[in-house]
Chain A
Amino acid sequence: MSNDFSEPVGKIVDNYLRKLKTHLKGLPANDQEELVKEISSHIYDSFRSDTTENEVDRILKVLDKLGEPADIISSRMSPAMMKMGKKKKLPLYILAGITIALFGVPLGLGGISLLLAFFLTILTLVFSYYLIAGSLLICGWLGMIVSILVFINPNFLDFLGPEVQLSPLTPDPTLNAVISLALSVVLSVVGIVLIWLGKYMMRGIRFLFHLTFEKIRGFRKKRGPEIQTT
């Protein structure tokens, strides 16, 4: 391919083709190879058709006319890849609409403090949510340990004094231990489920944050036209 050129020209061409190859990553290997072959053929023909200037100037002109590697592959990307950016925007705008409806667009100082309060509230809610979930979990585990120990040795809690007892629901200490064990298991399961559910909550909140910052940034920029050409 570039062997057909003299040394400095060959280097420039190689460099261009290498850049092209990096843009092609992700395409099937066969397609990549074909396109590189096709482009080097183009470069050769274009280079040969013009015999006026010195070689380096000529090759630079050839590559300039050919355009950036990105131009050559722009619509080779799978349609799915090209659409990704667009699809995301729709629900974003709807939600942005809701936030606008709630806070009003020209936020001003009042709006910003309202927004801040809103986020602080959310943060506090999240914090207390995890606090509750965590303490349920720890409570459950400790309860389990204690009830198992009591189950093994009914006199285990005696060293704490006569006031401390495993909830005496029934006179039978063994049954008591079983009941509290079951309760502890339930508590820890609830804790785990809460933490697991928290994942979804966090996702939603992250989305909300993202949305707000995007909106604020967009508002600052005063948004120019943003028609995408693909």
Chain B
Amino acid sequence: MENKITQLRKGILELAVLGCLYHERHYGYSLIKTLVGEGDLDITEGTIYPILSRLFKEELVKAEWVESNQGPPRKYYSLSAKGEQAFEVLNAEFAKLTAMVANAVAKQEKSSQNEERKILIVKKEGEDVQ
């Protein structure tokens, strides 16, 4: 199960990172804070860095070092034009996928309800016969 969760997370986390950077630039730590927010998603913070470096290699994000008024400089990431495009495409796809999952679950619930009803009807009929 752990495996399934990490697999599922991997792709979606990447999309979420792109989404975060779509609106403003972030450095690693602020990106994590924004992603996790007040939610209780327990995410190993370090995993954000391989994602960022992969996106950087794919030229979807740009990076620059900015001096911080306190402490060491920070590496800020922002989306490239290619990254913005990629996010829009992926986001649309993601919306379709979530709709699909929601649909599938809803349909199944409906059909199982139907089945229950059928069973009830059969039972009633049985009672009638008796």
Q: Flag whether B103 is at the interface (Cβ < 8 A).
A: no
Check if A42 sits within 8 Å of B28, measured CB to CB. yes
Measured CB to CB, the closest approach of chain B to A105, in angstroms, equals: 26
Q: Flag whether B118 is at the interface (Cβ < 8 A).
A: no
Residue from A1, A45, A65, A225 in contact with B74 in the complex, judged by beta carbons closer than 8 Å: A45
Question: B19-57 toward A: CB 8 Å interface, digit per residue (1/0)?
Answer: 000000001111001000000000011110111011000
Known: A4-B72, A229-B3. A42 touches B29 (CB 8 A): yes
Check if A72 sits within 8 Å of B50, measured CB to CB. yes
Q: Flag whether A53 is at the interface (Cβ < 8 A).
A: no
Known: A38-B28, A41-B27. A67 touches B72 (CB 8 A): no
Check if A37 sits within 8 Å of B73, measured CB to CB. yes
Q: Flag whether B85 is at the interface (Cβ < 8 A).
A: no
- Which partner residue on chain A sits nearest B49 by CB separation? A72
A-B contact count (CB 8 A): 76
Q: Flag whether A40 is at the interface (Cβ < 8 A).
A: yes
A73-B27 Cα distance, complex, nearest whole Å: 17
Tell me which residues across on chain B come within 8 A of A42, comparing CB atoms: 28-29, 45
Tell me which residues across on chain B come within 8 A of A227, comparing CB atoms: 3
Check if B50 sits within 8 Å of A76, measured CB to CB. yes
Check if A34 sits within 8 Å of B45, measured CB to CB. no
Of residues 57 through 88 on chain A, the ones whose CB sits less than 8 Å from some CB of chain B are 65-69, 71-76
Measured CB to CB, the closest approach of chain B to A226, in angstroms, equals: 10
A193-B44 Cα distance, complex, nearest whole Å: 58
Q: Flag whether A146 is at the interface (Cβ < 8 A).
A: no
Residue from B33, B47, B71 in contact with A71 in the complex, judged by beta carbons closer than 8 Å: B47
Tell me which residues across on chain A come within 8 A of B65, comparing CB atoms: 37
User: What secondary structure prevails in chain B residues at the interface with A?
Assistant: helix
Check if B46 sits within 8 Å of A66, measured CB to CB. yes
Known: A38-B28, A45-B74, A227-B3. A76 touches B53 (CB 8 A): yes
Of residues 2 through 50 on chain A, the ones whose CB sits less than 8 Å from some CB of chain B are 4, 34-35, 37-42, 44-46, 48-49
A195-B70 Cα distance, complex, nearest whole Å: 69
Tell me which residues across on chain B come within 8 A of A66, comparing CB atoms: 44-46
Check if B73 sits within 8 Å of A67, measured CB to CB. no
Check if B71 sits within 8 Å of A75, measured CB to CB. no
A38-B73 Cα distance, complex, nearest whole Å: 8
Check if B45 sits within 8 Å of A67, measured CB to CB. yes
A73-B45 Cα distance, complex, nearest whole Å: 12
Residue from B7, B47, B54, B72 in contact with A1 in the complex, judged by beta carbons closer than 8 Å: B72
Tell me which residues across on chain B come within 8 A of A76, comparing CB atoms: 50, 53
Tell me which residues across on chain B come within 8 A of A35, comparing CB atoms: 49, 53
- Which partner residue on chain B sits nearest A71 by CB separation? B46
Q: Enumerate 27 A-B pairs (CB-CB under 8 Å) in ascending A order.
A: A4-B71, A38-B28, A38-B49, A41-B29, A41-B75, A42-B28, A45-B27, A45-B29, A45-B71, A46-B29, A65-B44, A66-B45, A66-B46, A67-B47, A68-B46, A69-B46, A71-B44, A71-B47, A71-B50, A73-B49, A73-B50, A74-B50, A75-B50, A75-B51, A227-B3, A229-B6, A229-B10
Measured CB to CB, the residues of A under 8 A from B are 1, 4, 34-35, 37-42, 44-46, 48-49, 65-69, 71-76, 225, 227, 229
